[in-house]
Structures are given as C-alpha cells and as structure tokens.
Amino acid sequence: MSTHPVPPRRAPRKKMKMPLFGGMGGGASANKDDFFGKNFGSILIAMTGMAFAAQIFLQNIWSEKVYNDADEITEMAWNGTIRKKYTDAKFKSEIHYYLVIKEKGKKQIIDLVDADPVFFDQIAVPQRVIKAANSLDVRVQRYSKPDTTLRIKFIEN
C-alpha cells in the first residue's frame, strides 16, 4: 500500500449539448427534458411550412389597395396632402405614375397608368389636393400661387 491518500472518485461530467439540438445523436444518453425533445424534426418541418404559407398569404392581406382603374379614380373623393410621387417603368410601353395621398391618418395609393402624364407633372409633393366624388377636376392648393384646378384626362386604349 502507498502512503499518500487517493482522492475519491468524482461523478463523470455531463456531455456538452447544443441549444435546441440536444445531445446530437447521443442515443440512450440523450436528456428527455430538451427544449424540443424527440420531435425536433417534425416541429422544424411544421415551422418551415408555416413560414412558407405566411409568405404566400400575408403578402395579400397586408398589401395596400392601389387604385388604378379609371372608374375607381373617378368615384373617389380626395381631401388630403400628397406625401409621395413616383414612377415605375418596368416596361417602356407601360409607365405607372403613383401618388400617395394621406388624409386624416388614411393613405390612398393612386396609379395613373391610364391617365395623361400632364396632371402628374403639374403637381408636387407638399401640395394639398381636393377632389369631389364622380369628378375628374382636382383643386390643388399651392403655397406660392393661387389655387389651381387641374383635370385628370384618361387615355383611351
């Protein structure tokens, strides 16, 4: 026998684990109280499916209504301020002229794709526009000039 003391045997250390993945294939030594447990693969597939479904359906739900039909624009009433004015020309034959009009917390996006671009060129961003329903005459309040009445003309295809 030796004269120096033998330290007591200590318990083995726990194996390192990755969060969410558990013991990474440890078999019987895998801990049952992992975050997802045994069903991690099926939960991952279900969450991926829900993400794809959300991309398809939420895009239509959250998108804002864009008014581009001549009848819709004629029936609309405007009493607000122009917040944005921009164009989108994906194709040379079809140029979209967009106006974003904000009135009392409500935002309307108007696409003047079928309209004559002269109206779009004559208005600017900080101006206030007033249009009665079932009319194409738009009163524009300007800061440096007196109020002007402009008419929206639609191009017949």
**97 near 117, Cβ under 8 Å?**
yes
Q: Do 122 and 115 form a contact (C-beta atoms < 8 A)?
A: no
Highest mean pLDDT among 3-7, 9-13, 23-27, 52-56: 52-56
pLDDT given for residue 22 in this prediction: 56
Spatial distance between the Cα atoms of 109 and 112, rounded to a whole number of angstroms: 10
Q: Global pTM?
A: 0.60
DSSP code per residue over 24-90: SS-GGGS-TTSSSGGGHHHHHHHHHHHHHHHHHHHHHHHSPPEE-SHHHHHH--EEEEEEEEEEEEE
Task: Confirm if 115 and 152 have CB atoms less than 8 A apart.
Answer: yes
Rounded average pLDDT over 12-16:
79
pLDDT tens digits, one per residue of 15-52: 777 666 555 555 555 555 555 566 777 888 899 999 99
Question: Please, are residues 110 and 98 in contact by the beta-carbon 8 Å criterion?
Answer: yes
Collapsed DSSP state (helix, strand, coil) of residue 120: helix
DSSP 4: S
Q: Which residues lie across from 87 on neighbouring strands? A: 97
Q: What is the pLDDT of residues 116-149, one digit of tens each?
A: 889 999 998 889 999 999 999 999 998 888 888 9
By three-state DSSP, how is residue 5 classified?
Answer: coil
Q: What is the pLDDT of residues 62-76, one digit of tens each?
A: 778 889 888 999 999
